[in-house]
Amino acid sequence: MLIDISDLIGKKTNKKEVSVSFEGKNITFEGEDIQFVDPIKVEGTITTTGDIINFDGTIQTTLNLVCSRCLENFNYPLEIEIHEKFSKVLRDEDNDIIIINSDKIDFSPIIETNIILSLPMKKLCTEECKGLCSVCGTNLNHSTCNCEKNDIDPRLAKLREFFSTN
């Protein structure tokens, strides 16, 4: 997604409103496919301060993720704020500035990076997700199983015998 900023660079204006919506391309991150259910909506303001171009706005979309506990797909609504700085001039003192080479900014990698950074460490379909049975693999959200849950560390088995006789 390219946004033309030639009017900002040419000093014709110092502020530009951005409101675009587009279909996102699937992202693969750490071996997992992240699919977009809804279009990506980007809204914000681009302003200039000297030779720095600032973007302050929000990204909204809905992602289809895989639950870390039960391995089922679920929709994850996402709304994140982004604040990015751009410049055509390389500066040593500010590492947060993205260098641009033209009068257009490609927001696709910026959006992808911000979405990946906002994903939760453990993706859960619900907070109450029971996950899968570690013995038979049954999804415990939909049914129960009769597996014996004997999750004792073999190094502590003698200790269990000690407490069961008392």
Q: Is the pTM of this model over 0.75?
A: no
Position 51 scores a pLDDT of 78
Q: DSSP assignment of 89-116, as one string?
A: S--SS-TTEEE--SSEEE-HHHHHHHHH
pLDDT digits (tens, 9 = 90+) for 8-49: 666 666 788 888 888 888 888 888 888 999 999 999 998 888
Transcribe 8-68 into DSSP letters.
HHTTS-SEEEEEEEEPPPPEEETTEEEEESS-EEEEEEEEEETTEEEEEEEEEEEEEEE-T
The distance in angstroms from the start CA to the end CA of the chain is 70
Average per-residue pLDDT for the chain: 83
**Which residue has 């977009």 as its token pair?**
36
**Overall average pLDDT of the 148-159 stretch:** 74
Percent of the chain with pLDDT over 90: 28
The domain locations on the chain are: 2-128, 130-166
pLDDT of res. 138: 87
pLDDT score of 162 more than 70: yes
Measure the CA–CA gap between 162 and 166, rounded to whole angstroms. 7
